[in-house]
Amino acid sequence: MLCMALSCVLVVFVWKNILSPPDASTPAPDQESLFDYPDSFALRAEYLEQFSIKSHSIRRNDTLQQVLQELGIPLEYAVQWLKSSRNICELNKLRPNDHLTIHVRLEDQQPTKFIYTPVDGDTYTFRRAAGGWECQKDGAPPFPVIQTVKGVVTDNLYDSGIRAGLPAGLIMELTDLFAYDIDFVTDLRRGDTFAVHFEQQVREGKRVSAGPVLAAEMVVGGQRYKAFYYELPDGYKGYFDAGGSSLRKLFLKAPLSYSRISSTFTYKRFHPILKINRPHLGIDYAAPQGTPISALGDGVITFLGRKGGFGRYVEVRHNGEFKTTYGHLLKYAAGLRKGSKVAQGQVIGYVGASGLATGPHLDFRFYKHGKPVDFLKTEFPRARSIPKAQMADFAAKCEIYLAALRGSQYAKNESDVSSEE
């Protein structure tokens, strides 16, 4: 039996060597060498015997010099790194949650590598070079990801948006989109809804930036409002409603976030200080002292200074047809003077009680062809709309956006959408 087994082994050995004769010049492989690979843990341990790694996540108001001092790094390196990163990254404008990593040689406590990772940008690596340092931009670039967030207003839009997962910056963008149609101080109610379809930049599983908003829908007080982003062939970009009309109007719906309207446009009002009946051809917006006041539309400042009972006063001409005025200001926005150009929504001053005023509020007045008119009862034209030649393409994109905003409810809601358009 043993002989038969040995014979079989011998036959197999001879047959294998006939099919694949051994190469006498090649030594038999060492079984241990088959599993001989670099041990990353051992390499890191070896590295850490020569270098220490110091990290810091930027806090509000941190500067590079302060961080280096906290980490025990000579301040001279701040100057060297700022110099080598010039025109590559803004190392002198650190923001919260930016991250710094410094590799320090243990032998002489000198930095050998510095890595700067902005919260919403690329990674920058600083390495020693002849005569100084070199800064290099590296790392995988971010890529776009589309997301839709839906929510219900339970207290205020900002907190409700944050709870729903909407980036803070896009909440402000959302209010800007509908600022011409929705007064977010007085119109918004608990139970109103919002949906936002937006683009974001993602790298290594983390959002590095959010925007732009591609489409948005809000239901406020039972009224449905929609916004769709679209770029025209000539490069003009903007937001439009489902009919192709621009959401942007000539003027905002209000020049500030106010608590209430304490006095409306009237030709007979009892003045609380003068104790007489006189016309009040404007609107008094009651608001806390220091509340920012925005220009209602693009224009030029034609008056800035004190003006009788109005106290600190600003007048803005918006073209040959319209003029707006802002009275009782606490102070003016920095850098403004007569002749300054202002953009729609730009802060021009702050609520105060200068002049004849019993408390902090804005006296706002609106003029058309030099005559005061009731701003709350005036309709204004919209900005540029979608040309007929692009309407088919625009409508197709709106269909896609609406499907994303409403999901499975899109088909169910089509009937009431068509009735609202």
**H/E segment holding residue 255:** none
Instruction: Report residue 1's pLDDT band, with 50, 70 and 90 as the boundaries.
Output: very low
The arithmetic mean of pLDDT across residues 103-123, rounded, is: 86
The Cα–Cα gap between 176 and 213 comes to 11
CATH for the 140-249+382-421 domain, from 3.40.190.80, 3.10.450.350, 1.20.1530.20, 3.40.50.1100: 3.10.450.350
Q: Would the pLDDT of 203 be above 80?
A: no
Could you state, in order of their start, the residue ranges of all structural domains in the chain?
44-138, 140-249+382-421, 260-377
Strands (E), 118-205: 123-129, 132-138, 143-152, 193-203
Supply the mean pLDDT for the chain. Answer: 82
Query: Same topology for domains 44-138 and 260-377, yes or no?
Result: no
Predicted pLDDT at 102:
92
44-138 topology per CATH: Nuclear Transport Factor 2; Chain: A, (3.10.450)
**H/E segment holding residue 412:** helix 410-420
Which token pair is 195?
């949906």
The Cα–Cα gap between 98 and 93 comes to 10
pLDDT in tens, 19-40: 444 454 445 444 444 445 556 6
**203 or 90: which leads in pLDDT:** 90
- Computed on alpha carbons and rounded to an integer, the radius of gyration of the chain in Å comes to 34
Q: What's the predicted TM-score (pTM) here?
A: 0.52
Write down the architecture of domain 260-377 according to CATH: Distorted Sandwich (2.70)
